[in-house]
């Protein structure tokens, strides 16, 4: 298991009735009748008394995290006819060709006009930004730069109205939810 120091992040495991990780846990919180109780000391005693049968996987280090690089051909909102279909279905779904992008857990989206623009931006990025070598982070930076320099209508098919600008975080979250999109 990677240490907090190695990546600068913490992990929280939620388990029911298992002491498999007591030997490596920094803190153990027991939930009883919906109330939390710190049982770290007791868990440490149990870990000392019983040998862990947990199979260690992955080695001593977490390893490198690869940057995601979308493959543009996998981001295609075309129907069989070749017509591009991008449509906001309320505030929590983008119809993107035959696929739906579920935005229901992206609570920072505040208006339906953001939803359609997110779909248009993803399509624009597939045609003009992502090339198989550009990371999602680099792509989002380029999108922000274009918004500042050219405005949101750079991404819309016909400079139509009724669009609201999303942040790069919501765009990236939607892209990450696009099923079957490939990233190297």
Instruction: Give the model's confidence band at 5: pLDDT under 50 very low, under 70 low, under 90 confident, else very high.
Output: low
The pLDDT tens digits for 36-63 are 999 999 999 999 998 887 777 767 776 7
Per domain, the residue ranges of the chain are 4-49, 72-177
The pLDDT tens digits for 65-109 are 788 899 999 899 998 888 999 999 999 999 999 899 999 999 999
Q: Look at the block and give the residue holding tokens 């996987």.
A: 57
Distance CA 102, CA 91 (A): 10
What is the value of pTM for the model shown?
0.69
| Cβ proximity of 99 and 89 under 8 Å | no
Please, which residues bridge with residue 101 across strands?
94
Instruction: Give the tokens for residue 63.
Output: 């390893």
């Amino acid at each position: 298991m990677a240490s907090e120091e190695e990546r600068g992040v913490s992990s929280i495991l939620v388990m029911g009735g298992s002491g498999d990780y007591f030997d490596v846990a920094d803190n153990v919180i027991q939930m009883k009748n919906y109330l939390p109780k710190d049982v770290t000391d007791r868990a440490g005693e149990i870990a000392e008394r019983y040998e862990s049968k947990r199979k260690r996987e992955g080695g001593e280090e977490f390893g490198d995290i690869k940057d995601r690089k979308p493959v543009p051909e996998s981001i295609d909102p075309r129907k069989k006819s070749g017509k591009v279909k991008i449509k906001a279905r309320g505030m929590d779904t983008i119809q993107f060709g035959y696929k739906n992008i579920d935005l229901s857990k992206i609570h920072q989206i505040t208006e339906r006009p953001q939803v359609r623009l997110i779909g248009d931006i993803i399509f624009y990025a597939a045609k003009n930004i992502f090339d198989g070598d550009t990371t999602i982070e680099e792509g989002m930076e380029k999108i922000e730069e274009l918004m500042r320099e050219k405005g949101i209508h750079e991404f819309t098919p016909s400079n139509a109205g009724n669009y609201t600008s999303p942040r790069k975080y919501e765009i990236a979250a939607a892209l990450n939810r696009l099923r079957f999109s490939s990233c190297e």
